[in-house]
Amino acid sequence: MGKKKREVQEVNASSTADIAFLLLVFFLVTTSMSTDKGLARRLPPPVPENQEVPDNIEVNKRNVLTVLVNSRNDLLVNGEVMDVSRLKDKAKEFILNKAGDPELPELFTEDFGPGIGTQTYTKKHVISLQNDRGTQYQAYISVQNALVAAYDEVRDEFCLPKFGKKFAELDEETQKAVQKIYPQKISEAEPKDYSNN
């Protein structure tokens, strides 16, 4: 009897495509493409419980920009009712005080070392932000966004003529130096609850 040589049968590979499709669909469903973006902020460090609160902190009135947001999301900036769209320009005017207005923050002139030289800036300015417990989150974010935008623009306007670059494109060291001139000074007070009375 003549023995036939048995050939090894090839494994049928037509289903690997289906398997791979299944895996693909699984990954499409369980993962998300978008990377999260957001407003980066820093909280003040916690206050030790037994610390006495000095009640005679003297802050010159002209150095403070108070921004109040009530439970109806209305804005009060230094006693003036304002729309959020105007807050950015108001904040910029406050941070810079270009004209040396006696109502706006005091100007100081200091030497910032090589590369930057002497600059006139509002050293003691503070933006104080206070909101109600009933304020809507979107309104709070809009205010924060406007203030951050004001600082970003102020920094860019300083950097462009000086270095020919925007603030974000500078190297880290120069960024730090610029941050020294225009630090983000947004102080958040504890919210008040006016709804109960």
Partner 1 sequence: MAKFRKEGGRKMQAISTASLPDIVFMLLFFFMTTTSMKETTYKVNIGLPSATQLTKLEKKSLVKYVYIGSPKREFVKSFGTESRVQLDEAFANDPKEVQEYIIKERSAMKECDQGFMVVAMKVDKDTKMGIVTDVKQALRRANALKLNYTALGK
Separation of alpha carbons 184 and 149, rounded Å: 11
Contact string 119-158 vs partner 1 (x = CB under 8 A): ------------xxxxxxxx-xxx-xx--xx--x------
Name the token pair of 134: 């009933």
> Judged by CB under 8 A, does residue 37 bind partner 1?
yes
CB of 128 to partner 1, least distance (A): 15
Block residue for tokens 């009530």:
70
**Judged by CB under 8 A, does residue 6 bind partner 1?**
no
Binding status of residue 3 toward partner 1 by CB under 8 A: no
Contact 191, 133 (CB under 8 A): yes
Give buried/exposed letters for 65-83 (b at 16+ CB in 10 A, else e).
bbbbbbbebebebeeeeee
Contact residue for partner 1 among 61, 190, 196, 197 (CB under 8 A):
190
Out of 1, 8, 43, 81, which residue is the one contacting partner 1 (CB under 8 A)?
43
5 vs 37, which CB is nearer to partner 1?
Answer: 37
Residue 84 makes contact with partner 1 by CB under 8 A:
no
* End-to-end CA separation in angstroms for the chain: 108
Contact 102, 111 (CB under 8 A): no
Residue 35 interacting with partner 1 (CB under 8 A): yes
Helix 84-96 / helix 137-163 crossing angle, nearest 10 deg: 40
Q: Interface with partner 1 by CB under 8 A: which residues?
A: 13-14, 16-17, 19-21, 23-24, 27-28, 30-33, 35-46, 131-138, 140-142, 144-145, 148-149, 152, 190-191, 193
